[in-house]
Structure 1
Amino acid sequence: MSQKEEVCQHKLMISRDTLEVIQGKWRLPIIISLIHGNKRFGEIQRDISSISPKMLSQELKALEMNKIIKRTLYDTMPVTTEYALTELGSSMNKLLDELINWGLHFRKEVLGK
């Protein structure tokens, strides 16, 4: 395998890893919601009004497992749970800005909006 092919294969592997973490309809909206500050479950659900509680719970667990978000429990009555981006999750800010900018360009070029 040539060096160019090795570089290509390496980049393909890394891009698949990245997409595995952020794939799906809900993970990026959850991350974008948390960019604007730590939030409780209900606050995230209000930001993303079309997500079901079950799906939000599943996606939060997946993002936590991949160290994109952290969950903090507070000893209150009832227990308060808060979600926040980790340092790794916050490192996606530039990527998200670029995706949003590209999305604006796409909407204008293809959808005429």
Structure 2
Amino acid sequence: MNVCPYMEYTFSILGKKWNGLILYDLSLRPHGAAHFSEIKKNLTDITPRALSLKLSELMEYGLIDKRVTASTPVVITYELTEKGRSLTAALRPIQAWAQQYKPE
């Protein structure tokens, strides 16, 4: 397809199941960060394996980082990068559109 390479790139990320919802979930949290279990709690239909794969995929895109804090026990958080925060900000107008036009 040759409509717009930028839109094609964006939808190659957001068009994959769960990616947009994971990013949105992180955008609602203080500092854009959450533990795996917190994300899983909000996305009730995703399996732990699928969530793990999606988090890895979003890291490959540079949209989230995995932070490992050396403590007992080890604390792992996933947080939006600057690139991820800018994408979630760009999704806000789409959310507003959906709130206005989604059928009841």
Q: TM-score interval w.r.t. the shorter chain?
A: 0.7 to 0.9
Which residue, 83, 95, 101 being the options, matches 2:78? Answer: 83
CA RMSD of aligned residues (A): 1.4
Which of the two has higher C-alpha Rg?
1
Paired position in structure 2 for 1:17: 9
Letter aligned with residue 22 of structure 1: L
Which residue, 43, 50, 64 being the options, matches 2:45? Answer: 50
TM score, norm. by length of structure 1: 0.81
Between Structure 1 and Structure 2, which shows a larger proportion of helix residues? 1
Q: How far apart, CA to CA, are the structure 2 residues paired with 1:39 and 1:77? A: 18
Written as runs of structure 1 = structure 2, the 5 A alignment for 1:1-113 is 9=2, 12-37=4-29, 38-107=33-102, 111=103, 113=104
Letter aligned with residue 34 of structure 2: K
Structure 2, unaligned stretches of length 5 or more?
none
Please give the per-residue CA displacement for 1:31-76, whole angstroms capped at 9, x wherever unaligned.
1111123100000001111111011001100000000000000112
* Cα shift at 1:18: 0.9
Identity between Structure 1 and Structure 2 (%): 25
Q: How far apart, CA to CA, are the structure 2 residues paired with 1:53 and 1:45? A: 7
Aligned structure 1 segments of 4 or more residues deviating by more than 2 angstroms = none
2:72 is paired with a residue of what secondary structure? coil
Structure 1, unaligned stretches of length 5 or more?
1-8
